[in-house]
């Protein structure tokens, strides 16, 4: 494994599928022109609107999003993460899985993850979120994809970041890179986003790549932004700020080895 560049895309997705996919392609193109080989899109990248509209359009969103990911990975010859989109549940027409797909440069699926932790929270800013009203929770631990070129990649989605046991599982099974695509609320993000991501990087001595939604997506729904790439020491290598764009940084296997040699905490675990 040699050093390479990775990009975390930051978007303001709206309730407009075609517009969102066009914006996503522009940002993928930007990332590739700057040298990225591994690119991650945020949660809800193809559609971000009210829950009922999302369910009504879930079949179309799922088909177009998957085709888009395969086409973009092939066109730009990158490994591409689609950080979360609804995939209908066959026996439950009112529910969809919040699904992340990792696609290789030939357009083949490398890993698929269905979000297990659902965001059912009354936020102190007055907004209430009930993800479980339209989303079926996944039941399987996140997959890992092992690559001699990119390292071993573990998947997660947004609210998962508050559950460290999920990331401990990934690191215990060899993860070098943790993907955390998100649509973090503006209110919780200002206090928790960076510190949670840095904690996951530090405690697992892994790189963290966190694509993000930002700004006013629809109605009263505001997201925090600050797509980040963090190194295994917890150092923020790139921060996309609050506008649409990308965070771009080097994934360096030498740095990974150095941190794990200097801070071998994964070897010192007592309770597994």
Domains defined along the chain, listed by start: 4-266 (3.60.110.10)
pLDDT at position 126: 77
Task: Show contacts of 242-246: CB within 8 Å, 24+ apart.
Answer: 242/214, 242/215, 243/10, 243/214, 243/215, 244/10, 244/11, 244/12, 244/23, 244/27, 244/214, 244/215, 245/10, 245/27, 245/30, 246/7, 246/8, 246/9, 246/10, 246/27, 246/30, 246/31, 246/34, 246/36
CA distance linking residue 151 with residue 174, whole number of Å: 9
pLDDT at 272 over 90: no
For residue 38, what pLDDT band results from cuts at 50, 70 and 90? Answer: very high
The 10s digit of each residue's pLDDT in 157-192 is 999 999 999 999 999 999 999 999 999 999 999 999
Choose the catalytic residue: 23, 115, 194, 206: 115
CA distance linking residue 159 with residue 148, whole number of Å: 29
pLDDT at position 85: 98
43 labelled catalytic: yes
Choose the catalytic residue: 43, 64, 112, 194: 43
257 labelled catalytic: no
Choose the catalytic residue: 54, 64, 112, 158: 158
206 labelled catalytic: no
Smallest CA-to-CA distance from 208 within 189, 184, 182, 183 is with: 182
CA distance linking residue 189 with residue 42, whole number of Å: 15
Burial class (CB in 10 A: 0-12, 13-18, 19+), 255: middle
For residue 124, what pLDDT band results from cuts at 50, 70 and 90? Answer: confident
pLDDT at position 142: 95
């Amino acid at each position: 494994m040699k050093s390479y560049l990775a990009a975390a895309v930051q978007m303001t997705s709206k309730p407009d599928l075609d517009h969102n996919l066009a914006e996503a392609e522009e940002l993928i193109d930007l990332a590739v022109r700057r040298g990225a080989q591994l690119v991650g899109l945020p949660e809800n990248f193809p559609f971000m609107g009210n829950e009922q509209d999302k369910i009504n359009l879930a079949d179309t969103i799922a088909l177009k999003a998957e085709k888009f990911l395969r086409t973009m990975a092939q066109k730009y010859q990158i490994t591409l993460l689609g950080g979360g989109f609804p995939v209908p549940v066959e026996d439950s027409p009112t529910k969809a899985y919040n699904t992340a797909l990792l696609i290789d440069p030939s357009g083949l699926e490398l890993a698929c993850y269905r979000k297990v932790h659902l965001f059912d929270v009354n936020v102190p800013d007055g907004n209430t979120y009930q993800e479980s009203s339209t989303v079926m929770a996944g039941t399987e631990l996140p997959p890992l994809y092992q690559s001699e070129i990119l390292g071993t990649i573990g998947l997660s989605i947004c609210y998962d970041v508050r559950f460290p046991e999920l990331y401990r599982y990934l690191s215990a099974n060899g993860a070098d890179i943790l993907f955390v695509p998100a649509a973090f609320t503006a209110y919780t993000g200002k206090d928790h986003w960076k510190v949670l991501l840095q904690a996951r990087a530090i405690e697992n001595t892994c790189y963290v790549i966190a694509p993000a939604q930002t700004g006013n997506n629809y109605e009263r729904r505001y997201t925090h932004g600050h797509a980040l790439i963090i190194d295994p020491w917890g150092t923020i290598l790139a921060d996309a700020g609050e506008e649409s764009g990308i965070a771009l940084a080097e994934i360096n296997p030498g740095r990974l080895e150095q941190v794990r040699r200097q801070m071998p905490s994964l070897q010192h675990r007592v309770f597994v």
